[in-house]
């Protein structure tokens, strides 16, 4: 479906595939590797058709070894290639954290910048489709804590394509965290290659008297909450950080200076999550503008339950966001 010149409405997953295809066409040093990314087209289908077009030297399946996959990415990047490696589920980064934290993140620094590490890691995070505790986690705060890594979390089809392209063009390790439940979400996406700059947040909805910062799949939940709150007279501004590391503090601080109240929402466990860091930065840089304590919405401190009924209660949603905003507004008087 065309909506404008060069722009169509396509699913999030199709935007991911198109980005990969254009990157592989653009640069012969780009290759794609991971479990089932070639013959099967990945477990989630976003690499489908790439093997046929580019062949087994550019798109290939690896053994079931996340440690080996990351080692392949680090070594080939240090030797001048631009690997895109796929870690099927974000939960599996536990298998290769030593290589991520002690090699991938630090090699460029320890070699005085002489070794570039243009490796992109694509992975799927998030709960809500009954995959239980070992296949449903959101572990982005682990990665954001490690100097040397960049971390992006696309919340729209447009950003899925643009952030992935920017990640592969970057000379540093970048994790691109997709969300399983967003793969079918439609959005306007240009046909040509484009980049969404790393480190720049987006104001998804302008508002005047409350700020919600929502990461990943929590963005549409926050937008729904903002619509509900508008009926009660609250004009909510919603910010999509897009890049979690480096984080665009300036955009969020400027919003809070205008609205004077804030809530941070993420799907990850609330305790120790990225929301705590964002709240800390806001109180350091915008404390005098705040009319109420900064709120946080995240998942309970528990493994993700398999039970559909319990999982529904576990994952934050628009209703929980709305209730927390109302609590903060009521406390502020």
Residue 108 confidence (pLDDT): 94
CA–centroid distance for 53 within its chain: 28
Together in a domain, 41 and 175? yes
Together in a domain, 177 and 223? no
Together in a domain, 210 and 186? no
Active-site residue identified among 135, 145, 260, 266:
135
Structure tokens at 166: 């920017």
Identify the segments of the chain with pLDDT beneath 70: 1-5, 331-333
| Pairing between β-strand 202-205 and β-strand 236-240 as defined by DSSP bridges | antiparallel
Q: Contact, 15 vs 9, CB < 8 A?
A: no
In a domain, 236, yes or no: yes
Residue 7 confidence (pLDDT): 78
In a domain, 314, yes or no: yes
- Domain's final residue, options 127, 157, 190: 190
Q: Contact, 192 vs 6, CB < 8 A?
A: yes
Backbone angles phi, psi at 149, to 5 degrees: -105, 145
Together in a domain, 316 and 232? yes
135 in catalytic set: yes
DSSP state of 89: S
Q: How far apart are CA 121 and CA 168, in angstroms?
A: 9
- Model confidence, pTM: 0.96
In a domain, 62, yes or no: yes
Q: Which residue has the tokens 């720049």?
A: 200
Beta-carbon contacts of residue 64 (< 8 Å; ≥ 6 apart)? 35
Give the DSSP per-residue string, 277-320.
HHHHHHHHHHGGG-SSPPEEEEE-SSPPPSSHHHHHHHS--HHH
Residue 3 confidence (pLDDT): 44
Domain range holding 206? 202-332
Residue 2 confidence (pLDDT): 44
Give the DSSP per-residue string, 172-183.
S-EEEEEEGGGT
Together in a domain, 14 and 46? yes
Mean pLDDT score of the chain: 96
In a domain, 195, yes or no: no
Together in a domain, 237 and 279? yes
Together in a domain, 32 and 126? yes
Q: What is the CATH number of the domain that holds 169?
A: 3.40.50.970
């Amino acid at each position: 479906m065309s909506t404008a010149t060069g722009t169509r409405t396509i699913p999030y997953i199709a935007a991911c595939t198109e980005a990969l295809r254009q990157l592989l066409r653009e640069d012969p040093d780009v290759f794609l590797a991971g479990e089932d990314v070639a013959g099967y087209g990945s477990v989630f289908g976003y690499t489908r058709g790439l093997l046929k077009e580019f062949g087994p030297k550019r798109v290939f399946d690896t053994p079931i070894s996340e440690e080996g996959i990351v080692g392949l990415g680090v070594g080939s990047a240090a030797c001048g290639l631009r690997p895109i490696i796929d870690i099927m589920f974000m939960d599996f980064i536990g298998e290769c954290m030593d290589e991520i934290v002690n090699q991938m993140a630090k090699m460029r620094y320890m070699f005085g910048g002489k070794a570039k590490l243009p490796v992109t890691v694509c992975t799927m995070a998030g709960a809500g489709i009954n995959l239980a505790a070992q296949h449903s986690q959101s572990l982005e705060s682990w990665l954001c804590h490690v100097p040397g890594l960049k971390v992006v979390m696309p919340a729209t089809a447009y950003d899925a394509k643009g952030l992935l392209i920017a990640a592969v063009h970057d000379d540093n390790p970048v994790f691109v965290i997709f969300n399983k439940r967003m793969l079918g979400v439609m959005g306007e996406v240009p046909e040509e290659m484009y980049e969404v700059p790393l480190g720049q947040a987006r104001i998804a909805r302008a508002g005047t008297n409350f700020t919600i910062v929502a990461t990943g799949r929590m963005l549409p939940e926050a937008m729904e909450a903002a619509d509900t709150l508008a009926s009660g007279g609250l004009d909510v501004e919603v910010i999509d950080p897009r890049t979690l590391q480096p984080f665009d503090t300036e955009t969020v601080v400027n919003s809070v200076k205008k609205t004077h109240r804030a809530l941070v929402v993420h799907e990850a466990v609330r305790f120790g999550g990225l929301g705590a860091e964002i709240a800390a930065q806001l109180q350091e840089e915008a404390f005098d503008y705040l009319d109420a304590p900064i709120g946080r919405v995240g998942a309970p401190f528990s493994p993700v339950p398999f039970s559909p009924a319990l999982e529904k209660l576990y994952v934050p949603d628009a209703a929980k966001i709305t209730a927390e905003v109302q609590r903060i507004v009521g406390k502020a008087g």
